[in-house]
Amino acid sequence: MGRENTKCITSIGGQALVEGILMRGPKVTETAVRLSDGTISTKQLATSFTKDKYLIMGLPIFRGVAAFIDSLSIGYKALSYSVEKSGLDDEEEMTKFDKWVQKTFGDKMMNVIMVISTVIGVLLAIGLFFVLPTFIFNLIRDFGPGVQIEPWRSVVEGAMRIAIFILYIYLCSRVPDIHRLFQYHGAEHKTIFCYENNEELTVENVRRHSRFHPRCGTSFLVIMLLIGIIVGFFIPFGNPFVRTAVKILCIPLIVGIGYEFIRLCGRTDNTFTHIVSAPGLWVQRLTTQEPDDSMIEVAIEAMKKVIPENGEDKIKVLDGEN
């Protein structure tokens, strides 16, 4: 059983940051950020939900909701850290509003800006992905050709949500800073693949691996959108705001089911999981880009710090595969 023929599936996952990478292992979560002077700064972050603390968090569906909440919390902290360390907030000229916020809130300015941005982002997402599709469908139904399309509401709304999501990601990818973020996303995936192939974590080894990984947040979002179509069949309301409210209440269920699907795809390799993974892997062509060597170095630095010595991250060992 040679090193080159031994592969594994790991539970380690990551997230792209501003000039950095977050890697999350079974016990440790580490953030690595490229500083303006070229060095790499690292910081360990604590997780909020584990099945060791709360037994219910180890159960199907519940573990997905817990993981999602924890990812949002950790991701927020890591993103704030990366913005601070990368010097991004120092490069832009302050507007009058920024100066007012800094004068009013002082050292807490960045947290205030992040909270405001998050609230605006959530409201925008609700408007684009929930209210708008229902509103457009109602217009088509009421003023379009005399065809009975009400039974197909969930499918039509779901197709619109997916189209909006892909268009949004595409437009974001055209922004230089977001494109760079997507390059770090690619570096994260390549590094995890290198580790799963039991290869030494070097820039040369990481570089030649794929940037598309089945256990990705992009794939998770796509699966959630598809599950949302099924859930939509059981929501009888046509009013955009009532329907949106009910769908928001269903988000924990959709998140929990979506997590189980993405978990299955990450652990199992068969025809069914290939079909489930396919849409997400396709969208990853937009959300991941080929990284440069300096980005791979950051990903390797973060990865090395979360690999446990006892191998508890290894979900499955695959021997004798090429």
For 213-231, write each residue's pLDDT tens digit: 988 989 999 999 999 999 9
Per-residue pLDDT, 67: 86
Going edge to edge, which strands form the sheet with 13-17? Answer: 13-17, 20-24, 29-34, 40-45
Per-residue pLDDT, 151: 87
Alpha-carbon distance of 245 to 258, in angstroms, equals: 20
Q: How confident is the model at residue 322 (pLDDT cuts 50, 70, 90)?
A: very low
Q: What are phi and psi of 290, to 5 degrees?
A: -65, 125
Per-residue pLDDT, 263: 87
Per-residue pLDDT, 107: 59
Gyration radius of the chain over CA positions: 21
pTM of the predicted model as reported, rounded to 2 decimal places = 0.84
Work out the number of other CB atoms within 10 angstroms of the CB of residue 285: 13
Q: How confident is the model at residue 2 (pLDDT cuts 50, 70, 90)?
A: very low
Helix (H, G, I), strand (E, B) or coil at 282: helix
Residue 297 vs residues 18, 92, 284, 301: alpha-carbon distances, Å: 15, 26, 21, 6
Closest CA to 311 of 27, 46, 30: 27
- Say yes or no to pLDDT of 202 above 90: yes
Q: How confident is the model at residue 95 (pLDDT cuts 50, 70, 90)?
A: low
Per-residue pLDDT, 314: 87
Q: How confident is the model at residue 181 (pLDDT cuts 50, 70, 90)?
A: very high
pLDDT digits (tens, 9 = 90+) for 112-127: 666 777 788 888 888 9
